[in-house]
C-alpha cells in the first residue's frame, strides 16, 4: 500500500503532509510558516504575543506568500489576580544591579484569547485555529467554530484529551513532556506525573474519537513513523524547525540546540516550559517558588533580558527546545518538510 496509513487528519485539513509546523511564539513567524506550507505542511502563526493589529498584518503577509491553509494559534490561560512578585524581584536584584537596570514591568506579555481576537478570526477566517492551555470560554469558542475553522486543542493527559473532545474540537494534539516550549497542561495534573509521548499517544488515540496529532520530541522521520505506529494520524513538530534558516532565533540558541541539554523551567514565564540551559537557569536552578504564576514572571525579567541581549548574553530570555533538539538538520523549512514526509513513508514501507 502506498501513502499514509491513517488519513484522518489529512482528510480533515487537506494538506499534502500530515505535519503541523508548530506555532512558536518569539521563534517562528511569517517566513517559517510560508516555507513549511510550501513543503506541504500546515504552517502556523503564533498569535499569543501579538496584538489584533499585528495578527491582521501577519495574516496578510502569509496570504501574499501562499493561498494554502494555515493555522492561527492562541493561548487560553487565565490571568492570575493579585499575585505579588516582590520575592521574585528580590531574587533578581543582583542582576538589576549587574546590568544597571530598574525593575519595571515591560516586555511583550502572553495574553489569553479574548473578544478582540475572536473578531480578528471572524474577519480573516483561517482554515485552522489551535489553542494552548485549554479552550476559550464557550461563547468565544462558538464564535471561532461558527467561522468554519478546524479547531485544535492541546492535551498533556488522557483526561485533557477527553475534555477537549467533549467540547467539540476537531482534532487533539497529544503533547508529551519531551516537547519544547510550554507544557499546555490545563486541568491541574501534577507536573511530576507528566507523560512522555510513547505513553500518551496510544492512550489518547484509544480514548477519543477525533484525530490525534503527536507533539514532542519528534526530531526526524523515525519519530513520525513511530507516532503513526502508536495511533497518531498527524504530527506537530517545533524544535526541528528551529534549525531552519527561516526560524528567528539567536545564534546562541541555535548553537545550544546541538548540545541537547534541555530542562523544564518556570523561571522565564512562571509556567512550566522546556528549554536549553542558560545563565539564569544555571545560577538559580530551573524551578523556583519565587517566580510568580504564568505569565507574570517574564515582566520583572524583561529589563534584565533587554540589557543582557544588548551585550549578546541570551541566558535571561526563553531558549525553548525539545528533547530531540540535536536530531534536527539545518535545511530550508520547505525542503525539511518534504524530506521528513518522504523518509517517514519509506520507514513505514508505504513510499510510492
Ligand X SMILES: Cc1cc2nc3c(=O)[nH]c(=O)nc-3n(C[C@H](O)[C@H](O)[C@H](O)COP(=O)(O)O)c2cc1C
Binding mask 13-52 for ligand X (x = CB under 6 A): ---------xxxx-x------------------x-x----
Quick one: 85 or 236, whose CB is closer to ligand X? 236
> DSSP 3-state assignment of 264?
strand
String of DSSP letters for 46-107:
E-TT--HHHHHHHHHHHHHH--S-EEEEEE-PPPPSS---HHHHHHHHHHHHHHT------S
Pick out residues in 269-308 that bind ligand X (CB under 6 A).
none
Q: Measured from the CB atom, is 101 or 260 closer to ligand X?
A: 260
The interface region with ligand X, picked from 291-299, 300-308, 318-326, 341-349 by CB under 6 A, is 318-326
Range in contact with ligand X (rule: CB under 6 A) among 3-11, 76-84, 233-241, 335-343 = 233-241
What pairs with residue 173 in β-bridges? 154, 213
Q: How far is the CB of 322 from ligand X (least distance, A)?
A: 2
Among 238, 303, 317, 341, binds ligand X (CB under 6 A): 238
Q: How far is the CB of 261 from ligand X (least distance, A)?
A: 14
Classify strands 273-276 and 181-182 as parallel, antiparallel or unpaired.
Answer: antiparallel
Tell me 112's DSSP state: B
Under rule CB under 6 A, how many of the chain's residues touch ligand X?
A: 27
Q: Please report whether residue 77 would count as binding ligand X according to CB under 6 A.
A: no
Contacting residue, 151, 164, 179, 221, with ligand X by CB under 6 A: 179
How far is it, in rounded angstroms, from Cα 106 to Cα 137? 28
Q: Which is nearer to ligand X, 103 or 305 (CB)?
A: 305
Packed helices 297-310 and 86-99: angle between N→C axes, nearest 10 degrees? 10
**6 Cβ contact list (under 8 Å, min separation 6):** 228, 231, 232, 233
Residues found near ligand X in the complex (CB under 6 A)? 22-25, 27, 46, 48, 73, 132, 175, 178-181, 215-218, 236-240, 320-322, 324
Amino acid at each position: 500500500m502506498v501513502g499514509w496509513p491513517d488519513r484522518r487528519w489529512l482528510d480533515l485539513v487537506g494538506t499534502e503532509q500530515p505535519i503541523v509546523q508548530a506555532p512558536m511564539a518569539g521563534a517562528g513567524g511569517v517566513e517559517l510558516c510560508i516555507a513549511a506550507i510550501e513543503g506541504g505542511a500546515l504552517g502556523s502563526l503564533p498569535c499569543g504575543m501579538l496584538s489584533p493589529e499585528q495578527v491582521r498584518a501577519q495574516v496578510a503577509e502569509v496570504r501574499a506568500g501562499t493561498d494554502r491553509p494555515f493555522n492561527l494559534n492562541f493561548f487560553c490561560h487565565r490571568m492570575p489576580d493579585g499575585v505579588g512578585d516582590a520575592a521574585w524581584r528580590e531574587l533578581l536584584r543582583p542582576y538589576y544591579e549587574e546590568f544597571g537596570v530598574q525593575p519595571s514591568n515591560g516586555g511583550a506579555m502572553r495574553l489569553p484569547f479574548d473578544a478582540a481576537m475572536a473578531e480578528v478570526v471572524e474577519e480573516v477566517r483561517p482554515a485552522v485555529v489551535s489553542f494552548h492551555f485549554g479552550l476559550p470560554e464557550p461563547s468565544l469558542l462558538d464564535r471561532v467554530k461558527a467561522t468554519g475553522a478546524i479547531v485544535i486543542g492541546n492535551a498533556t493527559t488522557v483526561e485533557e484529551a477527553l475534555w477537549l473532545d467533549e467540547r467539540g474540537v476537531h482534532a487533539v494534539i497529544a503533547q508529551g513532556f519531551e516537547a519544547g516550549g510550554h507544557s499546555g497542561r490545563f486541568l491541574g495534573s501534577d507536573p511530576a506525573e507528566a507523560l512522555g509521548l510513547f505513553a500518551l499517544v496510544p492512550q489518547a488515540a484509544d480514548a477519543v474519537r477525533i484525530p490525534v496529532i503527536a507533539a514532542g520530541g519528534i526530531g526526524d522521520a523515525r519519530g513520525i513513523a513511530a507516532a503513526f505506529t502508536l495511533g497518531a494520524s498527524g504530527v506537530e513538530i517545533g524544535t526541528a524547525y528551529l534549525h531552519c534558516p527561516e526560524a528567528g532565533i539567536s545564534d546562541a540558541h541555535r548553537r545550544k540546540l546541538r548540545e541537547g541539554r534541555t530542562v523544564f523551567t518556570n523561571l522565564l514565564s512562571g509556567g512550566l516550559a522546556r528549554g536549553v540551559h542558560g545563565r539564569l537557569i544555571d545560577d538559580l536552578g530551573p524551578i523556583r517558588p519565587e517566580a510568580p504564576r504564568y505569565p507574570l514572571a517574564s515582566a520583572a525579567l524583561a529589563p534584565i533580558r533587554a540589557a543582557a541581549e544588548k551585550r549578546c548574553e541570551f541566558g535571561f530570555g526563553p531558549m525553548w527546545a525539545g528533547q530531540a533538539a540535536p536530531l534536527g538538520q539545518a535545511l530550508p523549512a520547505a525542503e525539511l518538510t518534504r524530506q521528513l514526509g518522504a523518509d517517514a513513508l519509506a520507514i513505514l514501507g508505504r513510499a510510492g
